[in-house]
Chain A
Amino acid sequence: MKLSGAEIVVQFLQDEGVEYIFGYPGGAVLHIYDAIFRQDNVRHILVRHEQGAVHAADGYARATGKPGVALVTSGPGATNAVTGIATAFMDSIPMVVLTGQVATPFIGSDAFQEVDAVGITRPCVKHNFLVKNLDDLIPTLKKAFYIATTGRPGPVVVDVPKDITDPNIKISYEYPETIEMRSYQPTVKGHSGQINRAVDLILSAKRPMIYSGGGVVLGDASDELIAFTRALGYPITNTLMGLGAYPATDPQFVGMLGMHGTYEANMGMHESDVLIAIGARFDDRVTGDVKKFCPDARIIHIDIDPSSISKNVRVDVPIVGDIKHVLGDMNKVIKAHKNKPDAAALKQWWSRIDTWRDKDCLRYDRNSALIKPQYVIEQLYQATSGDAYITSDVGQHQMFAAQFYKFDKPRRWINSGGLGTMGFGLPAALGVQLAHKDATVACVTGEASIQMCIQELSTAMQYMLPIKVINLNNRYMGMVRQWQEMFYESRYSHSYLDALPDFMKLAESYGHVGMRIENPKDVEAAMKEAFAMKDRLVFLDFITDQTENVYPMIAAGKGHHEMHERELA
């Protein structure tokens, strides 16, 4: 089969099993767009901004585990995509981004819409390529998908100059089933000696804590984690990125840890004697002051990326490998081991944890005359029977969603943790809804975040994506306001949002249904009504208490035992 470069791109994506390309056209990619037009196997989703294309591809990837694909033009198309690429990079999301480039003879001449896309994206990709010869196109695309999806996943950019896609130059095409790279061979299986050492330590624990993260979701190792945790009977906490990998409604789950984690999770970390870190990267939002981190614990760390291990916190038993394999092996070793978990010590440990739980650290004022954001999330949980895909933006609303929506399955909680990108939620929801046509998808957002990619309401209309937008409208950049209240003596510098649009009318002008809810007693009915509209996007604008803060909170530079708690009358 002889194909042009443009046809190769599209045919390759089809052979690779790609369902959707999220993109936006422009001069440098017109040949590719023409090839897209002439087939109907790979569906192109036209967004309204390249950032939206990349976030949508990202949402698709997070919800399915398959790589997301975005296509943008050269110059401004590529630069608009950068925030999306960096977002995916920080959370290790598998993704391939195709950027158009000026024709090879023009590269370096400051040609129209030329930017050094490879140079600009280098620090925020797993790898990137500039395709300089048509003959390199097929192997490069194969490498891109291979690199993006294996090992620690991440975004890969392929920069394709316009002449490479020339419709008049054809080469023979065959889909390469595999690719070998001498310089890239990620470790999969864990070292058996290390696994045995780890299990010995795990079974000697008196006050154990399992701290698992996004790696369990990325590695589809939820079943193995559940088996591991249940066999041991140990308490487990999840990072923001790990939520759902262990069922939140299970009694062994002590909630999220870290800056806005629960009291029981953070105290459990602080007093643990053996910490089992699984696919988590000891982020500063999680550790607080590393000098005060888990002072009594010996630490086991399973991670596929050696550079995650002992980066921020020195660990005692490192295991490099894929979680699914490592936990699978560990579960066998535990079963066959002569020792069992120390039942007496565990009983004591759980009773200590229960006293922390009794503090009910997430409590809030349920009698308020104003809508509390926590209440909205609780009602969202009820209305969706806890079984929705929830995307989120960044701010207080994100933390409330993480704390109050009890995720029982992986890939249900979709948010930007590492980069913390406002504007992520709505476009990500497009990708999630496309991936799961019949699923309930809601985007929890704030009035500031939603305005960063509001244009994607138009995309949602074009493709009839019935997302429910839950806007927790506190008329503030609440997260910023909270820091200003706590650390800047309530000097609210530029965190108040004036001149807000009428979100109801805005949604309606895009062709959607808009609702405004101002009274706590209307929340439940509004949720019911909105979720009953199965085929419509509904924008629910909840006018919430402006002064609500996220608690508990560990201030920067503090330890896990130094949490701020909510004071209630």
Chain B
Amino acid sequence: MRHIISLLMENEAGALSRVAGLFSARGYNIESLTVAPTEDPSLSRMTIVTRGSEEVIEQITKQLNKLIDVVKLADISDGGHLERELMLIKVRADSPELRDETKRVTDIFNGRVLDVTDETYVIELTGTGDKLDAFIKALDEKCIIETVRSGSTGISRGERALHA
């Protein structure tokens, strides 16, 4: 099962490597990991997408909680939640037909063209991982020059929140 684990941790040098080290040392898999400081600069918020059996996920959350730098943790996939990922994708757009078609698909997916040259577009798209995958599929594979994805971040719906 896929789980989204959200954590608040002390914004300390080395905190990220403790989390990454834990996953590699214990053989847990990381699908994606994102991290950035919060409105309180002494705290970072990290979102980890991982997969495993219930037992493995239980151990992952317990082991993460045990890290001294981790302040709070929640498996937000346990309840209603929102998930977003940002993708920037550079595609070949060197003919009128290709430019039209790419623009059309981008509009359907609610993406934006951020940069235009004679040869290329850079498109910005946010959404769930599935939506980004679908967008990539909708483009002609041969036209894709590079893609960069942020990895998923997420937040619970309603009142539930992570506080220090």
Contacts and interface: CB of A to CB of B under 8 A. Distances in A.
Q: Which 6 A-B pairs give the minimum distances between C-beta atoms?
A: A307-B62, A127-B68, A183-B71, A306-B62, A184-B68, A123-B25
A183 B42 CA distance: 12
A122 B18 contact: yes
B59 interface: yes
Interface in B37-91: 55, 58-59, 62-63, 65-66, 68-71
A301 to B, nearest CB: 13
B17 interface: yes
A99 to B, nearest CB: 15
Interface in A287-320: 305-307, 310-311, 314
Given A306-B62, A307-B62, A182 B164 contact: yes
Given A119-B17, A122-B18, A311-B59, A183 B66 contact: no
A118 interface: yes
17 contacts: A122-B14, A122-B17, A122-B18, A123-B21, A126-B68, A147-B68, A183-B9, A183-B68, A183-B70, A184-B68, A306-B62, A306-B65, A307-B59, A307-B62, A307-B65, A310-B55, A314-B55
B13 interface: yes
A243 interface: no
A183 B10 contact: yes
A315 to B, nearest CB: 12
A559 B21 CA distance: 33
Given A122-B18, A123-B25, A305 B10 contact: no
A282 to B, nearest CB: 13
Interface residues of B, number: 20
A130 interface: yes
Contacts of B21: 122-123
Interface of B: 9-10, 13-14, 17-18, 21, 25, 55, 58-59, 62-63, 65-66, 68-71, 164
Interface-central residue, B58, B65, B66, B71, by most chain A CB under 10 Å = B66
Contacts, number: 37
A181 B10 CA distance: 10
A192 B71 CA distance: 25
Interface in A137-188: 147, 181-184
Contacts of A126: 68
B68 A182 contact: no
B96 to A, nearest CB: 52
Given A123-B25, A182-B71, A182-B164, A307 B63 contact: yes
Contact of B13 (A123, A130, A311): A130
Given A147-B68, A183-B70, 11 more contacts: A118-B14, A119-B17, A122-B17, A181-B68, A183-B9, A183-B10, A183-B71, A305-B66, A307-B62, A310-B58, A314-B55
Interface-central residue, B9, B59, B63, B68, by most chain A CB under 10 Å = B68
Contacts of B71: 182-183
B32 to A, nearest CB: 22
Contacts of A132: 13
B43 to A, nearest CB: 9
A183 B55 contact: no
A493 to B, nearest CB: 30
Contacts of A183: 9-10, 68-71
A122 B68 CA distance: 12
Contacts of B58: 310
Contacts of A307: 59, 62-63, 65-66
A130 B70 contact: no
Contacts of B18: 122
Contacts of A310: 55, 58
Interface string A103-140: 00000000000000011001100110010100000000
A36 B164 CA distance: 40
Given A183-B9, A183-B71, A305-B66, A130 B14 contact: yes
Interface-central residue, A181, A184, A305, by most chain B CB under 10 Å = A184
A183 B65 CA distance: 9
Nearest to A305: B66
Nearest to A314: B55
Contacts of A127: 68
B72 to A, nearest CB: 8
A183 B164 CA distance: 8
Nearest to B64: A307
A130 B164 CA distance: 24
B56 to A, nearest CB: 11
